[in-house]
Amino acid sequence: MIQRPAYIKKLSNAVRRSPVTALLGPRQCGKTTLARIFGQDREAIYFDLESQPDLQRLQNPELVLGGLQGLVVLDEIQTMPELFRVLKVLVDRNGNRARFLILGSASPAIVKNVSETLAGRVEFIELSGFDLSETGEDSWKSLWLRGGFPRSFISDSDDDSLAWREGFIKTFLERDIPQLGIHITSTAMRRFWTMLAHYHGQTWNSSELARSMGLSDKTVRLYLDILTGTFMVRQLQPWHENIRKRQVKAPKIYLRDSGLLHSLLSINDSTSLFAHPKVGASWEGFALEQFLQVMPIAESYFWATYGGAEIDLFFLHHGKRYGVEIKFSEAPNITRSMRIALQDLRLDQLWLIYPGQHEYPVHEKIMVWPLCNIADLFI
């Protein structure tokens, strides 16, 4: 079993600080397994709200949960939204001796209900698939091809991994989306998701996608928000600087799991991946997700102008300005776009992330840095 010590530490701190901790992420990303491991050395009781016996146990939730102490885990809480108000009553009650860990398959409804009902009482943790710090640096090619969902990554073969991902996509569209109260045909959403895979790494253009699908701008925006709210898609927002240049205002779109991206693009193995025209965009999205999973930054952006200057990632950390450019090249070079970004964004440091093995400077403020070593950037 692949250990996830960073998330165990996050859970420990959150449960200590807050009466309710919300662990959110897509189905099959390991939330239940992580919660059970976390509860092994604690006084813990577990409720699976997709289990009929557990639902029966919670027919009178305030009475049942109010008498418990220690760690109480409520898995797939979106199936019983009335529990949010019950939890508010319980955590505000004098003498409450329980800490609640709620797991949800990342829907906007979960976050909205928790935020409104449990404001000031809940801490959020977002769980993603495996990252390189968990699987090991040498596994980056396999992790890139198969993605970070545990069952996909640990499959015995690439064919088995692909079969699991196809099954996941089918189940997600036919069962998980309807369970969130969203009534969109699986065929329409699959078609949109596949089209979005071809726009991976590009700036969002609702009109272009709407015309391609014969739908309205409003409808394709709804589809995008659904996939974003379920952690299938990342909308990376643009940064605006006070300069005399026209800057891009639309977000960039990435499919968050590289394995699902490859399934939707019909990429079956490494040979197909390296020969595919989207290999550079796929690498960019993979490296971006790896960076954001391990780096201690709260808000991240991209930056681009209509004149052609662009930086893949921009963020502030401890009062300094950082940029990240991602290149699928064994020997990446400084570009004009990087020099403009250094000047216009007043960057303190720019990292050029690539799939190689060595770290080396190419400019006083630009370092070429291996993806496998990104966890060392702020050490």
Is the predicted pLDDT of residue 3 greater than 90, yes or no?
no
Mean pLDDT of 120-139: 92
pLDDT digits (tens, 9 = 90+) for 270-295: 999 999 999 999 999 999 999 999 88
Task: Write down the pTM of the prediction.
Answer: 0.93
Task: Name which of 66, 7, 59 is nearest 33 in CA terms.
Answer: 7
pLDDT in tens, 170-228: 999 998 888 777 889 999 999 999 999 999 999 999 999 999 999 999 999 999 999 99
- Per the CB < 8 A criterion, the answer to whether 93 and 66 are in contact is yes
Would the pLDDT of 109 be above 70? no
Q: Which letter does DSSP use for residue 175 in this model?
A: I
339-361 mean pLDDT: 96
Q: Amino acid letter at 110?
A: I
- pLDDT class for 254, splitting at 50, 70, 90? very high
Where is mean pLDDT largest: 9-23, 66-80, 97-111, 176-190? 9-23
The strand ranges marked E within the chain are 20-24, 44-48, 69-75, 97-104, 122-126, 202-203, 233-236, 252-255, 301-304, 310-317, 320-326, 349-354, 360-363, 366-370
Whether residue 1 has pLDDT greater than 90:
no
| 149: amino acid identity, one letter | F
3-state secondary structure of 127: coil
Residues 126, 24: contact at Cβ < 8 Å?
Answer: yes
57-96 pLDDT, tens digit per residue, is 999 999 999 989 999 999 988 878 889 999 999 999 988 8
DSSP 96: -
The identity of residue 340, as a single letter, is I
Q: Tell me: pLDDT of 113 over 80.
A: no
Round to whole Å and give the CA distance between 260 and 351: 27
pLDDT at residue number 108: 63
Q: What is the pLDDT, as a whole number, of residue 328?
A: 96
Angle at CA 366, nearest 5°, toward 361 and 371?
A: 80
Average pLDDT of every residue of the chain: 93
- Is residue 50 within 8 A of residue 75, CB to CB? The reply is yes
What class is the 5-126 domain? Answer: alpha beta
Return the domain boundaries, the chain.
Answer: 5-126, 132-376
